[in-house]
Amino acid sequence: MKQKIGYRWLALILVMFCELMIHTWVRTESTQTILRISQAQAEIVKKISYGKALAVERDRLKSDARITRIARTRLGLSTNIFNQTIYLSEENL
């Protein structure tokens, strides 16, 4: 009789230990998942910010004022040339 009670207590302790281990594993995985989500969100914010900075830089580089200034200073083009349209054939490319 005492041996049956001992086995029951052992089985109960084993079941509780397994439940405790499963609960610990679930909490650990949950914490790790939350951490990965936070890191992914931070990376997304960083990439969006970088994309916006690149868009601003692209717009600055494409601005007509900048292209006109480069044409005048570096290429020596005059104002008269800006009103002309020059079409290039495929042979010239």
Residue ranges making up the domain that contains 26: 2-83
47 part of a folded domain: yes
Among 30-34, 42-46, 61-65, 67-71, the minimum mean pLDDT is found in 67-71
91 part of a folded domain: no
90 part of a folded domain: no
38 part of a folded domain: yes
93 part of a folded domain: no
50 part of a folded domain: yes
- Residue 66 in contact with residue 60, Cβ under 8 Å? yes
Total number of domains in the chain: 1
pTM of the model: 0.58
60 part of a folded domain: yes
77 has pLDDT over 80:
no
pLDDT tens per residue across span 10-26:
999 999 999 999 999 99
